[in-house]
Amino acid sequence: MKSPISIAIIQNDAGSDVKSNLHVLQSMINGIDNADLIALPEVFALRGDDDALRRGAETLDGMIVSSLSEWARNLNAWILCGSILERDGDDIFNTSILLDRNGDIAASYRKIHLFEVRLENNIVIRESDVYSPGDRPVTADVEGWKCGLSICYDLRFPELFRYYSSRGVNVIFAPSNFTQRTGRDHWNILVRARAIENQCFVVAPAQCGLMPGKEIETHGHSMAVGPWGEVLCEAGGKPCVLRAELHSDLLKQTRNRVPALEHRKL
């Protein structure tokens, strides 16, 4: 595997205008040099109420993926399209797309676990009102690194991450749109726990700012975490670009120090 592999993590504050969101993202991405992979958050191109999400859903050959495919080619970089709203017949999926350096789709993952929360002000967020769930984990090879794909709420289901670990994954992507309330208490702990228990890197780009249509604050704090649970980089609550390098030696050192993956019984 290529080592180190250079990752650029984008934290954005997406609104309800897709073209405006893409314009802002493109300006952020154009300033990135020499990244092997650029990672975007969940629903990076569109946030809004349920009707806006339904209207904005596209097929995988739609404008959003086509635009990012062009960016990948121009930058000669992999792009993790954290998630888009994928329309497939009568269904809408929350789908993460991995584009290779040529802009081709190397992998796509439909979010398996759909978020639901009841906040103190009686606001209910229930993704199943809009999305259909995915039904399979997805792995991909990026520059020799075996990667697993997940999205946001999946972080609360360690069995998905254990599935990836049992298949030799070195990196897990967790693009997210955590609410401020849940993120404040659980985000850092969950991302680091998934890295520690599976002795792998976790790359977690996140949204920040206010979700339009729902008026709910999101947490931000995008991060990359190493296999010992060490925080390699972490954002605050504003849009930004983070950089991290993933070194294969860290995987070897961690797994040799505590060979927990070899001791697994179940």
As to burial, measured by CB atoms within 10 angstroms (0-12 exposed, 13-18 middle, 19+ buried), residue 32 is: middle
Clarify whether 58 is annotated catalytic.
no
pLDDT digits (tens, 9 = 90+) for 163-175: 999 999 999 999 9
Write down all domains in the chain, each with its CATH number in brackets.
5-256 (3.60.110.10)
Mean pLDDT calculated for residue range 40-44: 98
Q: Which of 42, 58, 86, 127 is catalytic?
A: 42
Say which DSSP state 22 is in: H
Higher local confidence (pLDDT), 177 or 121: 177
Residue 2: predicted pLDDT: 96
- How much of the chain, in percent, has pLDDT values that exceed 90? 93
Mean pLDDT calculated for residue range 80-108: 98
Clarify whether 42 is annotated catalytic.
yes
What is the C-alpha separation between 21 and 44, in angstroms, rounded?
Answer: 8
What b/e readout covers 38-62, taking b as 16+ CB neighbours within 10 angstroms? Answer: bbbbbbbbbbbeeebbeebbbebeb
Do residues 211 and 218 lie in contact, with contact meaning Cβ atoms separated by under 8 Å?
Answer: yes
How many C-beta neighbours within 10 Å does residue 129 have? 12
How many C-beta neighbours within 10 Å does residue 78 have? 24
Pick from 7, 95, 93: nearest CA to 44: 95
Residue 114 parent element (H or E): none
Q: Which of 111, 127, 147, 208 is catalytic?
A: 111
Mean pLDDT calculated for residue range 111-135: 90
Residue 121: predicted pLDDT: 73
Mean pLDDT calculated for residue range 196-215: 95
Please state the pTM of the whole predicted model: 0.97
What is the C-alpha separation between 109 and 210, in angstroms, rounded?
Answer: 26
DSSP-assigned states of every residue in 158-179: HHHHHHHHHTT-SEEE--B--B
Tokens of 187: 């985000």
Beta bridge partners, 231, equal 225
Clarify whether 111 is annotated catalytic.
yes
Q: Which of 147, 152, 200, 208 is catalytic?
A: 152
Residue 266: predicted pLDDT: 82
What is the C-alpha separation between 12 and 32, in angstroms, rounded?
Answer: 15
